[in-house]
Amino acid sequence: MKDRIVLAYSGGLDTSVAIGWIADATGAEVVAVAVDVGQGGEDMETIRQRALGCGAVEAYVADARDEFADEYCMPTLKANALYQGHYPLVSAISRPVIVKHLVKAAREFGGTTVAHGCTGKGNDQVRFEVGIQTLGPDLKCIAPVRDLALTRDKAIAYAEEKHLPIVTTKKNPYSIDQNVWGRAVETGYLEDIWNAPTKDIYDYTATPEFPPAPDEVTITFKEGVPVALDGVAKTPLQVIQELNRRAGAQGVGRIDVVEDRLVGIKSREIYEAPGAMALITAHKHLEDVTIEREHARFKAMVGQRWSELVYDGQWFSPLKRALDVFIEDSQKYVSGDIRMVLHGGSAVVNGRRSDTSLYDFSLATYDTGDTFDQSSAKGFIDLWGMSSKVASGRDQRVNGG
């Protein structure tokens, strides 16, 4: 029996050609695996049939949309995860769920090797291969573009020669990756970081300069997870999808950033994440009223480290799992409603309510009913500043100031 190689399959030109290219280069049979994480586009059955038409001996399709929303997007939301304060981990969090299904398919179909379509200069090669090494340490990994010299020109020529059922016409100037959490665009003229993005690169968001009327939405959370919009119960996937539509119509979630790739280079990326950015904004505001101050400060540091680990392909690492436990515990009281207005590229919170709030009106008010004992403040200030006062006195004495 021939060896079998499991290929992460998107249905596009490069991975379609990779089916035959891998078979020719290795003599192995190819099993194509397509995972639906809410990327939209073609019907998954169409993609499955294309894989078979391009020479795959098996084609496995997984509808992982709810799984992705529940088990990957929600932990990201609870962490308020933004790599370098900007990137909502659009691609980074989709790779682990794809890896999970690649390894599952390898077990089911007798695969010994897993293949992916990444180049040698990106982050995703690390995310795929580290994940595969962790979940399937006996499996080998190959990347046709990186390891088997599969270039775009060769892919087009091969597809035409073999009469593959795939379009080989004019190349899109951009590299695009998308799922329900957001959309990532790079390469082409965007590689000159002085060039402003043009309107044609956007798909999830409308132009914010000419928005429709303001859209006010109330998001209900239970222990950090959104469970309803405007009082209507919804699953996490449904919440993300509806906010993608509503926030996207207002131009919310456009991000233009130069980020530090794991491989050591800087890369200019354009992101669209209307639902993700609206949810992260709302979630942060609910945490502001439900998490104690020192707890919140430390959680922000944990969230930053969590983001770095996930960006760097360490979703399955021991440290990330340990941070998950802390973050999950922090969400115990993050329940309530956030009201926000979506308009002209902004998601602005204008109302909060929670049965587990730490906000005490009688302590905060300056009007009648104030229960705060202001006489306590003087002694507090004296003690709070004591160490600095003593150090300052020492400095002046030693330096003659």
Catalytic residue set: 14, 95, 124, 175
With contact defined as beta carbons under 8 Å apart, do 73 and 181 qualify? yes
Residue 12 annotated as lining a ligand binding site? yes
Residue 175 annotated as lining a ligand binding site? yes
Residue 368 annotated as lining a ligand binding site? no
How far is it, in rounded angstroms, from Cα 325 to Cα 213? 41
Neighbours of 353 (CB within 10 A): 14
Residue 330 annotated as lining a ligand binding site? no
Residue 87 annotated as lining a ligand binding site? yes
End-to-end CA distance of the chain, in Å?
86
Residue 83 annotated as lining a ligand binding site? no
Residue 119 annotated as lining a ligand binding site? yes
Residue 344 annotated as lining a ligand binding site? no
Residue 117 annotated as lining a ligand binding site? yes
Residue 345 annotated as lining a ligand binding site? no
In the block, residue with structure tokens 């009201």: 339
Residue 392 annotated as lining a ligand binding site? no
- Asked whether the CA dihedral 188, 190, 195, 199 is positive or negative, the reply is positive
- Residue 163's Cβ-count burial label (10 Å; 0-12, 13-18, 19+) is exposed
Phi, psi of 368 (to 5 degrees): -55, 135
With contact defined as beta carbons under 8 Å apart, do 125 and 146 qualify? yes
Which candidate, 94, 108, 97, 95, places its Cα nearest to that of 59? 108
Residue 124 annotated as lining a ligand binding site? yes
How far is it, in rounded angstroms, from Cα 16 to Cα 144? 11
Buried b (16+ CB within 10 A) or exposed e, 327-350: beebbebbbbbbbbbbbbbbbebe
How far is it, in rounded angstroms, from Cα 36 to Cα 269? 23
Which candidate, 168, 149, 165, places its Cα nearest to that of 157? 168
Helix (H, G, I), strand (E, B) or coil at 120: coil
H helices within 254-385, ranges in order? Answer: 274-290, 293-311, 318-330, 361-364, 376-384
Residue 179 annotated as lining a ligand binding site? no
Residue 16 annotated as lining a ligand binding site? yes
DSSP 17-52: HHHHHHHHHH--EEEEEEEESS--SS-HHHHHHHHH
User: For the chain, what percentages of helix, strand and coil (3-state, to nearest 5) are there?
Assistant: 45, 20, 35
Binding residue positions for L-aspartate = 119, 123-124
List residues forming the annotated binding site for ATP: 8-16, 117
Binding residues: 8-16, 87, 117, 119, 123-124, 127, 175, 259, 271
Binding residues for L-citrulline: 87, 123, 127, 175, 259, 271
